[in-house]
Structure 1
Amino acid sequence: MTVHYWQPIAVLLFLAVYTSAWGQPSNPIPPFSELPALTTEHGWEPLEFPGIGRHSQYELVSDPDQGQVVQARADNSASGLITRVSLEPGDSLILRWRWKVGNTLEKGDARRKSGDDYPARIYVAFEFEPEKAGWFERAKRKTVSALFGEELPGKALNYIWANRLPQGDIVANPFTDDTMMIAVNSGEEELGQWVTIERDIVADYREAFGDNPPPLVGVAIMSDADNTGGAATAWYGDISLGRR
């Protein structure tokens, strides 16, 4: 069984190392529907984790109802696609996307390390705030930064299609309290259907962490099944960020 200890750090390292090679339009997230390829040049980069040799597969496919979308396949695997943004959340910042999953993971459980797998998730990362961190957290980040030569981002929200966690619940990731899991879908009722999700990430951050969010630094998609040893298929439509 693979442990996800490195996953939160790997996401942060990626965001620290890669800078944006494209402009920041009104929606700073490159739309899947318009991409010729899933490459760094077009705004999305593979997100892979140390010690995890099996990677989830992502490809652009045509959907009869949605046009061009990303199809994700996880089979006892874990990896994602990530894009960097730089944006002040302000009083409200709306994250909107459409997704569909073919199945949930039978052993999936957001409250347990052994069940920390999801057929679909959206990962939102924020800038690190050293003045609000404890001594141990600052020391840990200083060590990692010394090894990799980069400053790491901070807290994160994960919007998940859960298995057992009730829709609407917010829990800490079983590996780190700096990442909060928000079940925006749960169970099998909407399997095989395109679902539109709209979240105010400022309101969600305040509820999850009890504070106002710092600047946003990155957004990722991820379908993973390495902790449960299961398999899942999901589809992601365009993701957008904007004001009301």
Structure 2
Amino acid sequence: MKKLALTALVAAQPSLGITAEVVPFDGSWKEQGFLRLFSNDYVQRGEQLDVVSDGTVSLLWRPLDRSQRSAQAASWAWSVQEGVTPTDLTVKGGDDRNLAVYFVFVDPDRAEALAGGSARRILRERSARALIYVWGGQHNRGAILPSPYASQLRTKVLRGSRAGTHQETVDLVADYRAAFGSSPGTLVGLAISADSDDTKGKIVASISNLSLRN
């Protein structure tokens, strides 16, 4: 049986000139609630994160190490066994989604000062931008949407609300340019969220094999 060490693994792919670094779910991710009493259930199991959201919403946050901050692409597998109904992701207070993966960037000269900070603190930073990949909503796949909460957030829809299992590979640089019209700064943190508080629905889902590539 293969065992995944609960530290980041580095796998070189010489034929492609790509280095992939796995980001494990090793207990270093910390939950941050949007509303004090509304929290999801997360189980970090090394290579996989299990998520249950039952009329709740919160975000699981991990600051990145210096070696991970230059990532230009990412990949992961995700699965939704039970999810919420399609919503309009541009409407504040009506934008439930099954899963969201956040990539948070700041200006390079601010990265060290913000390293290790909470998602809430970093997203208050003037230079901060978050590229959010979403499973859910009623929009076309590939749509890039403004957030109803803050101008420095952009959502790209990868999957509709239907249950299933999928593997994703994303180009962070190209998607950032399409979303914000400029090149990304330094990647300082990742977050994962499930959101069911508006529809009062239930989400049972998981994310695994999350990796960053330079």
Give your verdict on TM over 0.5.
yes
Q: Deviations over 1:95-131 (max 9, x none)?
A: 100001123322522121122221111011001589x
Contact in 1 for aligned 2:83/2:201 (Cα 8 Å): no
State the one-letter code of the partner of 2:144.
Answer: I
- 1:227, CA displacement in angstroms? 2.7
Matches within 5 A, 1:123-162: 123-128=102-107, 152=125, 154-162=128-136
Q: 1:107 to 1:168 in 2, by over 3 A?
A: closer
**Structure 1: which 5+ residue stretches go unaligned?**
1-21, 62-66, 131-147
- Correspondent of 1:70 among 22, 26, 49: 49
Q: Is residue 206 of structure 1 aligned with residue 180 of structure 2?
A: no
Q: 1:151 to 1:178 in 2, by over 3 A?
A: closer
- Correspondent of 2:161 among 187, 203, 228: 187
- Correspondent of 1:112 among 79, 82, 91: 91
Whose helix proportion is higher, 1 or 2?
1
Q: 1:128 to 1:231 in 2, by over 3 A?
A: farther
Q: Deviations over 1:154-189 (max 9, x none)?
A: 01011000230111100001111210010011132x
Q: 1:238 to 1:219 in 2, by over 3 A?
A: same
Aligned to 1:242: 213
Q: 1:217 to 1:128 in 2, by over 3 A?
A: same
Aligned to 1:224: 195
- 1:72, CA displacement in angstroms? 0.4
Aligned to 2:63: 84
Q: Deviations over 1:131-160 (max 9, x none)?
A: xxxxxxxxxxxxxxxxx7x98360101100
Normalising by structure 1, we get a TM-score of 0.67
May I ask how many residue pairs the two structures share in their alignment? 185
Q: Is residue 178 of structure 1 aligned with residue 149 of structure 2?
A: no
- 1:48, CA displacement in angstroms? 2.1
Q: 1:108 to 1:200 in 2, by over 3 A?
A: same
**Structure 2: which 5+ residue stretches go unaligned?**
1-6, 11-18, 110-120
Rounded Cα–Cα distance in structure 2 between residues aligned with 1:228 and 1:114: 10
Q: Is residue 95 of structure 1 aligned with residue 71 of structure 2?
A: no
